[in-house]
Amino acid sequence: MNIQRYSRHMVTSEDTFSFDPSEYSRFKFGDGAVSKKYGTELAEGFIDQCLRRQKDIGQLVVISSPFAFIPTATFAMKIHFVNRLNRWLAANGLPVVQKTKIHRKVTYKEDYGALDAEQRMKLIGNDKFHIDKEFIKNKTLIFLDDIRITGSHEKMILKMSQEYGIDNNAWLLYFAELQDLSIHPKIENYLNYYQVKNLDDLNDIVQNPGFQINTRITKYILNADTKKFDNFIRNQTPDFIELLYNMAIGNEYHLIEAYLTNLSKIKHPISNLVY
């Protein structure tokens, strides 16, 4: 593939950022307002810094970070990225974007953001990726992700492209990228949990009308201490509890022993279901 990369923000320090780390943390746990802000900002930067300079813009296909059943935080950001980009494309008489998905079979439950580069590649190396090769033929691909730390996910996407014989022109887009490689990759988890320290910190996020569930918040809730889980669930609506359970089952979390105790607590109160 002919690949170009664009990142809206560069991380060059362990404690000073060009974006609000509190907002970023909320984004990673499903804050819809921040997802909209980030998606719009990334699209505007991409348009100004990249697309305006191109003479020939053909059919674009936007692809968010790979997932199985439950979307990632990037998927929520992608919605608003596409909306902003489409406005610009339509205003300039260009075809609006198409969307597709990289299907992913996840083989681990560990917290990816806490690992170093070697551990990440070892962990993710067993995952399976699939894309519809015929749908993307002769189109420019835009692979979207929230942050680039070691490039492990990027390497897996490139590996998949080689296996499928994909030779498209492609962009790799990130909201942020770790530029100073002397900084340990665990900076990712520092950002992920900057605002969210415990389950109580999630109440404001999940009870907001713009909340969008993702893999991180689902695993975080299900992996919580049982008593803390009970206290958290007691304050949530039946709709949220049903959503949490349905997403967990869809991602096969009922097959992961570490999640079974908490999952069992929210299974039976769900109405109108037959077991």
Q: Quote the pLDDT of residue 125.
A: 58
Phi, psi angles (nearest 5°) of residue 110: -60, 160
User: What is the mean pLDDT of the segment spanning 132-161?
Assistant: 90
- Residues 258 and 252: their CA atoms lie apart, in Å, by 12
Domain spans in the chain, listed from the N-terminal domain onward: 2-197
pTM for this model (two decimals): 0.89
The first and second tokens of residue 262, run together, are 């908490």
Alpha helices (runs of H) in 92-186, residue ranges in sequence order: 117-124, 152-164
Residue 109 CB partners (closer than 8 Å, separation 6+): 219, 223, 256, 258, 259
| Mean pLDDT value of segment 100-107 | 75
pLDDT above 70 (res 134) = yes
Asked whether the beta carbons of 177 and 147 are under 8 A apart, the reply is yes
User: Angle CA(271)–CA(228)–CA(33) in degrees, nearest 5?
Assistant: 75
pLDDT of residue 273: 45
What is the model's pLDDT at position 268?
A: 73
Is the pLDDT at 110 greater than 80, yes or no?
A: no
| In the predicted structure, residue 35 carries a pLDDT above the cut 50 | yes
What's the pLDDT band for 117 if we cut at 50, 70, 90?
low
The yes-or-no verdict on residue 157 having pLDDT over 70 is yes
Considering only residues 227 and 275, tell me which one the structure prediction assigns the higher pLDDT: 227
Beta strand segments in the chain, E: 2-11, 60-63, 98-100, 103-105, 128-130, 140-148, 169-178
Question: What separation in angstroms does the CA of 95 have from each of 4, 47, 71, 89?
Answer: 21, 15, 26, 6
Task: Report, as an integer, the average pLDDT of 121-149.
Answer: 85
| 35 strand-pairing partners | none
Q: Over 50: is that where the pLDDT of 274 sits?
A: no
Which percentage of the chain shows pLDDT scores above 70?
89
Q: Return the CATH class of domain 2-197.
A: alpha beta
